[in-house]
Amino acid sequence: MIEKNFLNVNNVSIKYGRQEPVVKNVNMSIGHKEIVGIVGESGSGKSTLLRAILGILPAGSSICSGNIIFKERNLVQFSKKEWREIRGNRIAMIFQDAGRSLTPILKIGDQFIETIRSHFDISKAVAYDKAVDMLGKMQLPDASRIMNSYPFELSGGMKQRVAIAMAMTMEPELLLADEPTSALDVTVQAQVVRQMLELRSNFNTSIIIVTHNMGVAAYMCDKIAVMRQGELVEWGNRDQVINKPKSQYTKDLLSVVPELGGSDIGERERTSA
């Protein structure tokens, strides 16, 4: 059953220091199991908005208006203790340079198993199997070697996939992904996208993905948001945004993606909600 009001971003403005807000009066609603894509030019405020939803805006920045309601609780007023309870397991994030979030002095296996066991009450052996299984799904060959490696022994793309695997293994209710695949090969990107769709099917995860790639948004998202200069210039269901965009800026973005020409891209492959 669709749970309404899973996440609501209500009239949110965010600023850094004393500057003008870089996110301006943004409204969005994300349903249970829904995938939302945020596209838009560099500097339009996409990452800032995601960070606000995860409560990790840097010092000096603030949400100067609005609220963010996650399952009827206002995240803007969360205490550190409340954040500790939900961040990383109920709400997880994959960063653009997620590989850098790995702890350099611990072997991948040790940190992966520790992360899993901080959330699930399972033995080390079961956690190990869960980790190896997810590494395999990220198209990482020889998962047992990876589990036995330190981060510096892996390539950037491998670390990125390990970090994505760790976030997904937590089976979060809400996954925030900030250009998770932009540093990866095209074939691996496609696999990571498929895996996100599988996460939604298997665990009912809602996903907000920031991407520069309108094709990725069209392929995997139920709703698409287009941001420009801090404002939400377009918001709607995928088909509506792709086939009948309202703003000229969205039309311009779509006009440079040849394979989109209003087609039903990927419909057959798409996992239904």
Ligand X SMILES: Nc1ncnc2c1ncn2[C@@H]1O[C@H](COP(=O)(O)OP(=O)(O)OP(=O)(O)O)[C@@H](O)[C@H]1O
Are 44 and 111 in contact by the 8 Å Cβ rule? The answer is no
User: Which region among 37-45, 74-82, 98-106, 133-141 touches ligand X (by CB under 6 A)?
Assistant: 37-45
Least gap, CB of 146 to ligand X (angstroms) = 28
Please identify which residue in 28, 30, 34, 45 interacts with ligand X, judged by CB under 6 A. Answer: 45
Question: Does 205 help bind ligand X (rule: CB under 6 A)?
Answer: no
Nearest Cα neighbor of 25 from 47, 9, 41, 36 is 9
Distance CA 171, CA 128 (A): 16
Residue closer to ligand X (CB basis): 40 or 99 = 40
Least gap, CB of 104 to ligand X (angstroms) = 23
Run of H or E including 144: helix 143-147
What x/- string results for residues 7 through 26 when contact with ligand X is judged by CB under 6 A? ---------x-----x----
Contacts of 246 (CB under 8 A, 6+ apart): 234, 236
Least gap, CB of 97 to ligand X (angstroms) = 11
Please identify which residue in 8, 13, 48, 111 interacts with ligand X, judged by CB under 6 A. Answer: 48
Are 164 and 171 in contact by the 8 Å Cβ rule? The answer is no
Residue closer to ligand X (CB basis): 46 or 200 = 46
Size of interface with ligand X, in residues (CB under 6 A): 11
Distance CA 205, CA 196 (A): 9
